[in-house]
Structures are given as C-alpha cells and as structure tokens.
C-alpha cells in the first residue's frame, strides 16, 4: 500500500531564532549531514547501517562547541543536545527496528528545533511528514532534498509523506 505524496509547496524558511556564530551553524550542519546518513539507513531498513550511522552522529554531536553560544541560545542548545544524545543512545540500546524508529522520531524532532533555533549556515533542510507513521499518529523527519524517502516505513511505503517546510 503506497500513500500518495502531496505536492503542495513547502513553507519558505524563516530566519533562525538566534543569531549565532557561523562556526556553530557549520557544526550543526555537520550534525545534520550525519543525521542524513542515519535517516537513509532507516529508509533502507538496515539495522547494521543504523547502528553505524548512529555512532557517527553521536561522535559529530559530541564535537559541537556549545561555548560558541551565550545566554538563551546556550541554554536552548543544552536542552536540544541532551534530547539528541538521549535519543541516539536509545537507538543504540535496542535491536528492535521499530523501537529504533521511535527513538529516531525524537532525534528528528530535537534536530528540527535546533535548526529552527540556530540555522545551518547556508545548507538547506527539508522538514517532511508522514501522517501514517506510528499507527496514524504521524511523524516528521528531516531530509537534504525534497524527495520523500520515508524512514518510518522504508520500502513498505517509501514515498508516503510530504514536505512541510524548508529550513536554512
């Protein structure tokens, strides 16, 4: 069963909530790139690739320099970073692919909030949504292009979803 993608135009990216150093944005862009490998491993429903990409994402995330941020931006990043780190740990902690996907949903949500807050320093992210994920509860993920490749269903419903927003 294939759910049709919608073709509505995504909302244009708003400016990040915080003005932060480009160096931090580039580090966040690196974390986003590692996340894309993780998303692609979920699309392929490849548990070994998921574990490998999770470890790489954890490594890139750990190298981000929160000392580049001040005040509210620093506090918000500490919250997002903790959510990301905890959810990535959750992916590593189980062999069950559906439990891994549930933790990936949390990773996606926290990374989305991070990109909305700080920006990617010129890179573009696409915020995508599948209304059928998690028993029709729905779930979002991020992509580096506007083609729908659903990480929650993999090849079962590869193109189920729509682009909801563009982020920069």
Token pair of 30, please? 């690196």
Query: CATH assignment of 22-121?
Result: 1.20.120
14 pLDDT band, cuts 50/70/90, is confident
DSSP state of 15: P
Are residues 43 and 150 in contact, defined by beta-carbon separation less than 8 angstroms? yes
**Residue-range domain boundaries for the chain:** 22-121
Average pLDDT on 31-42 reads 98
Residues 67-77: tens digit of each pLDDT: 999 999 999 99
Mean pLDDT, residues 13-38 taken together = 94
Composition of the chain by helix, strand, coil, percent to 5 = 55, 10, 35
Paired tokens of 72: 């509210």
The answer, yes or no, to whether residue 8 has pLDDT greater than 60, is: no
- Please provide residue 166's backbone torsions phi and psi, each rounded to the nearest 5 degrees: -105, 135
**Distance between CA atoms of residues 14 and 61, nearest Å:** 24
pLDDT tens digits for 107-151?
999 999 999 999 999 999 999 999 999 999 999 999 999 999 999
Cα distances (Å, whole numbers) of residue 167 to 11, 26, 117, 118 = 9, 14, 10, 10
Burial class of residue 7 in the structure, from the number of CB atoms within 10 Å of its CB (0-12 exposed, 13-18 middle, 19+ buried): exposed
């Amino acid at each position: 069963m294939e759910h049709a993608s919608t073709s509505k135009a995504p909302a244009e990216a708003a400016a990040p909530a915080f003005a932060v150093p480009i160096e931090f944005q580039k580090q966040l862009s690196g974390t986003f790139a590692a996340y894309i490998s993780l998303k692609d491993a979920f699309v392929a429903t490849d548990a070994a690739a998921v574990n490998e990409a999770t470890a790489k994402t954890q490594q890139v995330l750990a190298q981000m320099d929160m000392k580049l941020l001040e005040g509210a931006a620093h506090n918000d990043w500490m919250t997002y970073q903790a959510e990301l780190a905890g959810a990535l740990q959750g992916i590593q902690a189980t062999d069950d692919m559906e439990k891994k996907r549930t933790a990936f949903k949390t990773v996606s949500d926290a990374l989305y909030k991070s990109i909305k807050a700080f920006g990617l320093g010129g890179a573009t992210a696409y915020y995508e949504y599948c209304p059928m994920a998690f028993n029709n509860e729905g779930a979002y993920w991020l992509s580096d292009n506007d083609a729908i490749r659903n990480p929650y269903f993999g090849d079962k419903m590869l193109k189920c979803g729509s682009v909801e927003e563009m982020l920069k």
